[in-house]
Amino acid sequence: MSPWRLFAVWLLAEGAWCASELKFPPGFKFGAATSAYQIEGAWNASGKSPSTWDTITHTRPHHIIDQSSGDIACDSYNQWKEDIKIASDLGLDFYRFSISWPRLLPTGFPDAINEDGRRYYDNLINGLLEMGIEPMVTMYHWDLPQRLQNLGGWANPKVVEWFEDYARVLYKLYGDRVKTWITINEPFSMCTLGYAMVAFSAGVTDQDVGTYLCIKNVVMAHSKAWRLYDRDFRNKFGGRVGIANQLFYLKPATKEDEEIASLGHEFFYGLYSHPMYSKEGGWPAGIERVIEQNSKKAGFARSRLPPFTDEEKEIARGAYDFYGFNYYSSRIIRRRGDEEDLLARSPFKNIRELNAILEVDPTWKKSSSFWFYVYPPGMRKLLSWVKDQYGDVEIVITENGYSSTGTELNDIDRIKYYRDHLEQVLLAIHKDKVNITGYTAWSLIDNFEWNEGYSTKFGLYEVNFNDPKRTRTARDSAKYYKNVIKTNDIEIPKSFNIISDEL
């Protein structure tokens, strides 16, 4: 073979092409996302009952960096028409938002539907459809009715039934118009982070036991809500239901750390995915073994990870229509040295169950969020991880975005973040043949960033939190994203005048 031909074969095999020449395939959809507690405000308006986040912000404000709350947030409860307008200006194919469980069902149960809450989401959905934007609806984005938390929340197996009942109400009310449902947003954040960090929990921290009760209940709640749709609503409405996982790529520090990295992925996402997406179902075997051994060693009578009954395993297995994929950041993982302290309880710094340390590469740029370091290749690696684990499942990227202090409209770093991550998505599609059908920017607008309050901003649109109308103004990243959607070209137009090349 001539050297040129060899070179051409290498080029094709390695995918060493210029990603900027790659395009998103026909039918690929672009969207942007928000969630109820982070944007709606109106925390006690028109019959809404308090959620766990109302409780956290009102009773433990010291857990929020700036002691703020989502009481008013972006006032989207009143300004929802503005949100639709900017979603339409961007040219979005879909808008991902969440429904507040305590706004719709203030008792937590379907015995009383709050009419104002019902109407609010009805108007939002209809308004989007009128503008040609598909609603993608998250049923649960962390704002549990406080009453259900008082009854044990996600650690009580009854939550599976409570969630299924809530899902039934949603399908009945909105299923004729909502064709893409996400049951639960980032169970990793709810269970793995939530039960480990007091600042992120609904008042209960119990990393050793609570985390695993939460994980099992999330898996079953999602699966039962999926089965319900499949059985009673799919024929009528023809929609689809998935769950949105948050994934950190765990890069092995050395060759010897590859095994711990693979266990780390099983621990962080396998627990939330394997029961539904793997052929065999059930917990990922490696991590199931580790938790069982650790439990025994510590003197527990049984594994802290609750087992599935055969029936539960079958309910979960195959309970999905797509894989929702949230990606922001990565970590380097290594085994903890003998003499090393594992004092830091933060799940961003270690995985106690695995005796593993999580670190960051000093060359990774830090965003304005304490946990967020930029490593674009991690996104592609994880997209491939999902494919390697679960086959050719359809992946919808349900979140990706960058945080800054938000004072600037000329948000070059955010634009670069989007560009570099979209490039990884293109490479995953074209080179790794991962079946990705959509991409969602987080977030449409600046909003309440949980424990970081308003100190860090993710919006394509800036929100003026000093203005009672919470005016929204496009950042340059909004213009960039609009251009990507319009031209199917991820490169940053020359007119954006990028000088810094740090990212």
Q: Could you tell me how many residues of this chain bind ligand NOJ (CB under 6 A)?
A: 10
Interacting residues with ligand NOJ between 321 and 340 (CB under 6 A): 326
Task: Tell me: does residue 186 bind ligand NOJ (CB under 6 A).
Answer: yes
**CA distance linking residue 478 with residue 30, whole number of Å:** 13
Closest CB to ligand NOJ among residues 217, 246? 246
In the complex, the smallest distance separating the C-beta of residue 234 from ligand NOJ, rounded to whole angstroms, is 26
The Cβ of residue 437 has, within 10 Å, a number of other Cβ atoms equal to 15
Residues 196 and 189: their CA atoms lie apart, in Å, by 10
Interacting residue with ligand NOJ among 180, 185, 211, 350 (CB under 6 A): 185
When asked if residue 446 is in the footprint of ligand NOJ (CB under 6 A), the reply is no
Separation CA 296–CA 293 (nearest Å): 5
Rounded to whole angstroms, the Cα distance separating 81 from 69 reads 23
Active site residues: 186, 399
CB 350 within 8 A of CB 193: no
Q: In angstroms, what is the minimal distance from the CB of 450 to ligand NOJ?
A: 6
Q: Output 140 or 308, the one with its CB closest to ligand NOJ.
A: 140
Which residue, 194 or 281, is less far from ligand NOJ as judged by CB?
194
Find, among 484, 459, 486, the residue nearest to 470 by Cα: 459
Tell me, what amino acid is at 311? E
Cis peptide before 443 (omega within 30 of 0): yes
Residue 442 interacting with ligand NOJ (CB under 6 A): yes
Q: Which of residues 389-428 bind ligand NOJ (CB under 6 A)?
A: 399
Nearer residue to ligand NOJ within complex by CB, 355 or 455: 455
Q: Does 449 bind ligand NOJ (CB under 6 A)?
A: yes
Residue of the chain from 77, 188, 233, 458 that contacts ligand NOJ (CB under 6 A): 458
Q: Does 245 bind ligand NOJ (CB under 6 A)?
A: no
DSSP-assigned states of every residue in 404-442: B----S--HHHHHHHHHHHHHHHHHHHTS---EEEEEEE
- Helical (H) or strand (E) element with 334: strand 322-335
- C-beta closer to ligand NOJ: residue 134 or 449: 449
Query: Distances from the Cα of 129 to the Cαs of 156, 171, 217, 229, in angstroms?
Result: 37, 17, 33, 22
CB of 267 to ligand NOJ, least distance (A): 19
- Smallest separation (angstroms) from ligand NOJ to the CB of 400: 9
Residue closer to ligand NOJ (CB basis): 37 or 233: 37
d(CA 389, CA 386): 5
Spell out the residues 6+ positions from residue 290 whose beta carbon is closer than 8 angstroms to its own: 263, 353, 354
Q: How far is the CB of 98 from ligand NOJ (least distance, A)?
A: 9
Minimum distance from residue 35 beta carbon to ligand NOJ (Å)? 5
Contact letters (x/-) for ligand NOJ, 22-41, by CB under 6 A? Answer: -------------x--x---
Residues making contact with ligand NOJ (CB under 6 A):
35, 38, 185-186, 246, 326, 399, 442, 449, 458
